[in-house]
C-alpha cells in the first residue's frame, strides 16, 4: 500500500508532547478516539504504538522533545536525529510515519529536504509528516515573514522543490475565524487556500491533507457545530483531499473541544463522531478517484471557477453550492456537492450531462436516485456524493 495515496487518515492534531499523556487515560484516550471515528492517532510516543495497534488504528510518532531547529543542524546531525527517531519507534503494523515539523518557513526547506530524504532511506514506505502554514500567514521581508517568500504559491512550490514530500498537509481555520463564513475576507481566504493547495498538489501529482478546526479557536469566535464541522470536511473532500485532520481533540487552552479540560466528552464530540463516520464511509470511494475540477454556483473568491463543469451542467439552489468533480477507472464519474450555507437546509436541483444520477449514502454507500427533476435536500454544511 502507498500510504500517501491509498490510505485516508482521519486524525486529530495535538500540541505535543504535552498532550501525549492524555492518550493513556481511560475514558478519553486512544480508545475514545476510535469511538469518535478517528482511524489515526497523532502524535504518539513509541511506547504507545502497541495500544494503537490493539485498537486497530494507525499512528504517526511525535517528536521526542522540544521543537527542532532544523536550520541549525548539519547534514550529519539531521541524519543522526532521523535515525534516532526511527530506531526508537521500532516496528509496528500501526506505524505509518514520523512527525518532522509544523509550519516551517521557506528557510527551513533545505534542511527538511535532507530530513525527508534520510527518512525515506531509513524507513522506506513510511511518511514524513510536515504541516505547512495557511495562506493568511504573514508575507514580507525574509527576516520578518513567516513564509519567507513573496507569495503563498511560491511558498508551496519551493516546498515541493526543496523538500520533495510524499504529500502536502496544511492548516486553515478560516471557517471559525470568519465567524461561520460571515466575514467575507476570511471566508474567501479559506476557499482560495483550499484551491491553491489543490492546484500545487495536482500539478506535482501529490495527495494533500487538510487540517481544520474542531474547537473555539479564539474566545470571540464561533464554537463547533454540526454545520461548521460538516462544511470543513466536505469542502476538503470536494477539492480532492486525501486526509482530514482536526485541531484539536483535547481542549488544552481552547474551548468547546471534543474532550474538555476535565476529560469529559462534550457536545462537540458527538458532532465530530457523526462527521468522521461519513468521511470514513466515503473514503474508500474517494481514494480511488481523481479530482478533475472544482466549481461554484457563486464563487466565494476571485479566480475560482463558476459552473458549468465537465460533469455538472448547472445547479439551482437558494444558497451557494460547491461542486467537486471526479473520475475513476472504468469510466467512473462522481460529483460531490456541498451546501455552503451554515444557516439553512436547501433543496438543490442538479442538471448533469449524463444520466442517471444517484446519491451515495455516507452511511452504507447505497445508491438512491435523485427525486423528480433531479432534486435533493442538503442540510446546512452538508455534502452529498453523486454517482453519474
Where does 328-379 show beta strands of DSSP type E?
333-339, 346-352, 358-360, 367-369, 375-378
What is the pLDDT at residue 18? 81
Of the pLDDT bands very low, low, confident and very high (cuts 50, 70, 90), residue 79 is: very high
In the predicted model, what is the mean pLDDT of the chain? 96
Of the pLDDT bands very low, low, confident and very high (cuts 50, 70, 90), residue 82 is: very high
Q: How far apart are CA 85 and CA 216, in angstroms?
A: 33
Q: Mind listing the pLDDT tens digit for each residue in 178-195? A: 999 999 999 999 999 999
C-alpha cell at 278: 461519513
Q: Which of 159, 243, 242 is nearest to 200 (CA)?
A: 159
The DSSP bridge pattern shows strands 321-327 and 312-316 to be unpaired
Task: Describe the crossing of helices 152-163 and 109-122 by its angle, rounded to 10 degrees.
Answer: 40
Q: How far apart are CA 267 and CA 133, in angstroms?
A: 29
The DSSP bridge pattern shows strands 58-61 and 95-102 to be parallel
Q: Mind listing the pLDDT tens digit for each residue in 237-269? A: 999 999 999 999 999 999 999 999 999 999 999
Is 308 exposed, middle or buried (CB count within 10 Å of its CB: 0-12, 13-18, 19+)? middle
Convert 131-148 to b/e letters by CB count within 10 Å (16 or more is b): bbbbbbbebeeeeebbbb
Provide the 8-state DSSP code for 91: -
Whether 142 shows a pLDDT value over 80: the answer reads no
The DSSP bridge pattern shows strands 333-339 and 346-352 to be unpaired
Task: Describe the crossing of helices 226-238 and 184-203 by its angle, rounded to 10 degrees.
Answer: 30
Give CA 236 to chain center in angstroms.
7
Give CA 339 to chain center in angstroms.
19
Q: Which residues contact 347 (CB under 8 A, 6 or more apart)?
A: 317, 318, 375, 376, 377
Secondary-structure percent of the chain, ordered helix, strand, coil, rounded to 5? 35, 25, 40
Q: What is the mean pLDDT of residues 309-313?
A: 98
Whether 144 shows a pLDDT value over 90: the answer reads no
Of the pLDDT bands very low, low, confident and very high (cuts 50, 70, 90), residue 141 is: confident
0.85 exceeded by pTM: yes
Q: What is the mean pLDDT of residues 306-319?
A: 98
Label residue 240 left, alpha or beta by phi (over 0 means left) and psi (-120 to 50 means alpha): left
Of the pLDDT bands very low, low, confident and very high (cuts 50, 70, 90), residue 29 is: very high
Whether 132 shows a pLDDT value over 80: the answer reads yes
Q: Which of 12, 5, 298 is nearest to 131 (CA)?
A: 12
Q: Report the percent of the chain where pLDDT is more than 90.
A: 94
Instruction: Please say whether the dihedral angle defined by the alpha carbons of residues 252, 258, 260 and 262, taken in this order, is positive or negative.
Output: negative
Q: What is the mean pLDDT of residues 131-159?
A: 93
Q: How far apart are CA 168 and CA 131, in angstroms?
A: 7
What is the pLDDT at residue 143? 78
String of DSSP letters for 3-60: HHHH---EEE---TTGGGGGGGSTTTSHHHHHHTT--EEEEE-GGGHHHHHHTT-EEE
Poorest-pLDDT segment among 117-131, 134-148, 360-374: 134-148
C-alpha cell at 202: 495536482
String of DSSP letters for 173-236: -HHHHTTTTTSHHHHHHHHHHHHHHHHHHHHTT--EEEEEE-SBSSTTS----HHHHHHHHHHH
C-alpha cell at 312: 455538472
Q: Report the percent of the chain where pLDDT is more than 70.
A: 100
Poorest-pLDDT segment among 140-149, 213-222, 350-359: 140-149
Is 331:245 a contact under the CB 8 Å cutoff? Answer: no
Helices (DSSP H) in 55-183: which residue ranges?
75-89, 109-122, 152-163, 174-177
Q: Mind listing the pLDDT tens digit for each residue in 10-27? A: 999 998 788 999 999 999
3-287 to CATH, choices 3.20.20.80, 2.40.128.50, 3.30.565.10, 1.10.540.10? 3.20.20.80
Q: Which residues contact 354 (CB under 8 A, 6 or more apart)?
A: 311, 333, 388
Whether 140 shows a pLDDT value over 90: the answer reads no
Amino acid at each position: 500500500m502507498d500510504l500517501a495515496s491509498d490510505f485516508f487518515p482521519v486524525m486529530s492534531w495535538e500540541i505535543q508532547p504535552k498532550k501525549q499523556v492524555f492518550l493513556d487515560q481511560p475514558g478519553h484516550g486512544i480508545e475514545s478516539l476510535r469511538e469518535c471515528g478517528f482511524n489515526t492517532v497523532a502524535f504518539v510516543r513509541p511506547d504507545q504504538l502497541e495500544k494503537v495497534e490493539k485498537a486497530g488504528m494507525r499512528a504517526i510518532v511525535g517528536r521526542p522533545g522540544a521543537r527542532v531547529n532544523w536550520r541549525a543542524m548539519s547534514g550529519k546531525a539531521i541524519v543522526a536525529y532521523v535515525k534516532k527517531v526511527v530506531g526508537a519507534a521500532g516496528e509496528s503494523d500501526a506505524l505509518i510515519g514520523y512527525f518532522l515539523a509544523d509550519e516551517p518557513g521557506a528557510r527551513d526547506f533545505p534542511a527538511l529536504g535532507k530530513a525527508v530524504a534520510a527518512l525515506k532511506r531509513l524507513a522506506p514506505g513510511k511518511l514524513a509528516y510536515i504541516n505547512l502554514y495557511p495562506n493568511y500567514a504573514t508575507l514580507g521581508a525574509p527576516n520578518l515573514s513567516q513564509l519567507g517568500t513573496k507569495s503563498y504559491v511560491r511558498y508551496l512550490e519551493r516546498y515541493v522543490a526543496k523538500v520533495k514530500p510524499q504529500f502536502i498537509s496544511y492548516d486553515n481555520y478560516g471557517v471559525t475565524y470568519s465567524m461561520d463564513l460571515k466575514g467575507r475576507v476570511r471566508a474567501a481566504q479559506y476557499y482560495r487556500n483550499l484551491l491553491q493547495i489543490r492546484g500545487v498538489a495536482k500539478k506535482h501529482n501529490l495527495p494533500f491533507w487538510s487540517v481544520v478546526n474542531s474547537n473555539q479557536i479564539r474566545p470571540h469566535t464561533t464554537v463547533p457545530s454540526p454545520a461548521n464541522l460538516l462544511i470543513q470536511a466536505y469542502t476538503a473532500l470536494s477539492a480532492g483531499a486525501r486526509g482530514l485532520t482536526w485541531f484539536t481533540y483535547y481542549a488544552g487552552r481552547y474551548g468547546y473541544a471534543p474532550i474538555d479540560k476535565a476529560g469529559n466528552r462534550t457536545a462537540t464530540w458527538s458532532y465530530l463522531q457523526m462527521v468522521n463516520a461519513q468521511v470514513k464511509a466515503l473514503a474508500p470511494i474517494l481514494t480511488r478517484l481523481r479530482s478533475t475540477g472544482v466549481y461554484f454556483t457563486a464563487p466565494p473568491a476571485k479566480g475560482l471557477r463558476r459552473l458549468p463543469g465537465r460533469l455538472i451542467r448547472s445547479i439551482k439552489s437558494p444558497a451557494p453550492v460547491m461542486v467537486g468533480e471526479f473520475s475513476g477507472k472504468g469510466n467512473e464519474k462522481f460529483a460531490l456537492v456541498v451546501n455552503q450555507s451554515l444557516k439553512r437546509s436547501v433543496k438543490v436541483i442538479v442538471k448533469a450531462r449524463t444520466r442517471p444520477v444517484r446519491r451515495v449514502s455516507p452511511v452504507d454507500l447505497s445508491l438512491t436516485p435523485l427525486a423528480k427533476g433531479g432534486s435533493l435536500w442538503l442540510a446546512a454544511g452538508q455534502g452529498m456524493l453523486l454517482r453519474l
